[in-house]
């Protein structure tokens, strides 16, 4: 037996372990401290009652012979796939069929699993800084990575790859920088992919945070995208489903990959749970839409307060407008971890060091709006006193 040496050589998830270790050490040394956690990318608000009711009803269905369910379709229930098309795509003028929508247990799994569609010899272009899953997945598969630095001087927009990239991971609204892509920017990527016979995997986990009417919510709003793009979405941040687990991936037939993905899912995935799919369906009811919008509005308000407050304190900040993340430049070019330590030790605030998302994130930290107004206002008050 030979282990997968690519996987074996992956370093531990240093970023979040290190944040947890440093926070725990501080908390142990200062048990009385009220540590404000503004780093995490996890939702904090409870689910709207209509979604909870839907899950209760789904559990009840399983309790009675007449309504009991066993395995569902591997690709997801038709009623959910249709609801996704009717609510998320048709109103934006996008034509898709339910067979092109695959229900998942969240974006994380599919972002990893989609890599199985492609030969190990493909080159992969990945934004830097970026959400770590794209890098780790492709390292596990032993692929060559082409880095696409997203730098402050270019407003964190990546340049098109200089060499041919077969697979391109995009993430917009971006985690961690909060950048969004305009219609023209997306069109450039589609053009690149069409010319180079590449495939774009676009992670749209934060789509629900887009407020600017000029920013497309889906890559398929741009002509030609269905031939070259797979869109990965999640109910995690849109609807507060990080514990429930449900998402979906659109693999248009025009990519030539839909049948292969369906085949792969039938073998390796027995479907998202009936209960979480019922919960996801409830997000499209009028009460569900109102409930999740109220939660999103609360996070968006937190983002605005945090962003404006940091600006008022003299920090240079990006993002926070169409995204839940605020990308904040450290003062005096301070190292990301040094600023993390300063915030923790002097203000009892936890942020996420930007360098943890890749070297291009050095000199930045990420604040998250998945918090509440009270904590953010308290954090800003404490940061005023920062020496």
Torsion 19-20-22-27 (CA) sign:
positive
Nearest to ligand PLP of 205, 369 (CB atom): 205
Nearest to ligand PLP of 351, 380 (CB atom): 351
Q: Under the criterion CB under 6 A, does residue 107 sit at the interface with ligand PLP?
A: yes
Q: Under the criterion CB under 6 A, does residue 125 sit at the interface with ligand PLP?
A: no
What is the distance in angstroms between the CA of the first residue and the CA of the last residue of the chain? 56
Closest CA to 140 of 161, 168, 111, 176: 111
Nearest to ligand PLP of 26, 284 (CB atom): 284
Torsion 92-96-97-101 (CA) sign:
negative
Pick the binder of ligand PLP from 131, 172, 299, 367 (CB under 6 A): 131
Binding mask 166-205 for ligand PLP (x = CB under 6 A): -----x---x---------------------------x-x
- Which residues 35-94 are close enough to bind ligand PLP by CB under 6 A? 41
Nearest to ligand PLP of 16, 284 (CB atom): 16
Q: Under the criterion CB under 6 A, does residue 295 sit at the interface with ligand PLP?
A: no
User: CB 1 → ligand PLP: shortest distance, Å?
Assistant: 31
User: CB 12 → ligand PLP: shortest distance, Å?
Assistant: 18
Q: How far is CA 86 from the centre of its chain?
A: 23
- Which residues 215-244 are close enough to bind ligand PLP by CB under 6 A? 234, 236, 242
Nearest to ligand PLP of 171, 251 (CB atom): 171
- Starting at the edge strand found earlier in the chain, the sheet holding 325-329 runs 317-319, 325-329, 364-368, 352-353
Q: Using CB atoms within 10 A of its CB, is residue 125 exposed (0-12), middle (13-18) or buried (19+)? A: buried
Beta strand 36-37 pairing with 349-350: parallel
For residue 249, give the H/E element and its range: strand 247-250
Closest CA to 245 of 288, 278, 217: 278
| Count, residues near ligand PLP per rule CB under 6 A | 13
Residues at the interface with ligand PLP (CB under 6 A)? 41, 106-108, 131, 171, 175, 203, 205, 234, 236, 242, 247
């Amino acid at each position: 037996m030979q282990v997968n040496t690519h996987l074996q050589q992956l370093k531990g998830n240093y970023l979040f372990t290190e944040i947890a270790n440093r926070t725990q050490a501080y908390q142990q040394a200062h048990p009385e401290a009220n540590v404000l956690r503004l780093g995490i990318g996890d939702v904090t608000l409870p689910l709207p009652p209509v979604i909870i009711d839907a899950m209760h009803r789904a559990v009840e269905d399983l309790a009675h012979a007449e309504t009991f369910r066993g395995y569902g379709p591997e690709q997801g229930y038709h009623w959910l796939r249709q609801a996704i098309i009717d609510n998320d795509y048709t109103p934006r003028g996008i034509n898709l069929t339910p067979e092109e929508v695959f229900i998942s247990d969240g974006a994380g799994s599919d972002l990893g699993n989609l890599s199985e569609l492609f030969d190990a010899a493909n080159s992969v272009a990945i934004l830097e800084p970026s959400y770590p899953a794209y890098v780790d997945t492709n390292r596990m598969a032993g692929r060559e990575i082409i880095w696409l630095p997203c730098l402050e001087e270019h407003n964190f927009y990546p340049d098109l790859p200089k060499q041919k990239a077969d697979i391109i991971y995009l993430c917009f609204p971006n985690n961690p920088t909060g950048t969004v892509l305009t219609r023209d920017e997306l069109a450039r990527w589609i053009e690149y992919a069409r010319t180079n016979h590449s495939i774009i995997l676009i992670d749209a986990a934060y789509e629900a945070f887009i407020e600017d009417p000029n920013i497309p919510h889906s890559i398929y709003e741009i002509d030609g995208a269905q031939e070259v793009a797979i869109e990965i979405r999640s109910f995690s941040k849109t609807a507060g489903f990080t514990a429930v687990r449900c998402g979906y991936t659109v693999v248009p037939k025009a990519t030539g990959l839909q049948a292969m993905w369906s085949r792969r899912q039938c073998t390796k995935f027995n479907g998202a749970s009936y209960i979480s799919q019922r919960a996801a369906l409830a997000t499209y009811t009028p009460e569900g839409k109102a409930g999740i919008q109220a939660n999103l509005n609360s996070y968006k308000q937190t983002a605005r307060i945090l962003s404006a407050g940091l600006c008022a304190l003299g920090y240079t900040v990006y993002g926070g407008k169409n995204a839940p993340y605020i990308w904040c430049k450290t003062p005096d070019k301070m190292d990301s971890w040094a600023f993390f330590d300063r915030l923790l030790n002097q203000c009892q605030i936890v942020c996420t060091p930007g360098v943890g998302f890749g070297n291009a994130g050095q000199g930045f930290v990420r604040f998250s709006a998945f918090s509440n107004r009270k904590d953010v206002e308290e954090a800003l008050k404490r940061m005023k006193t920062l020496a």
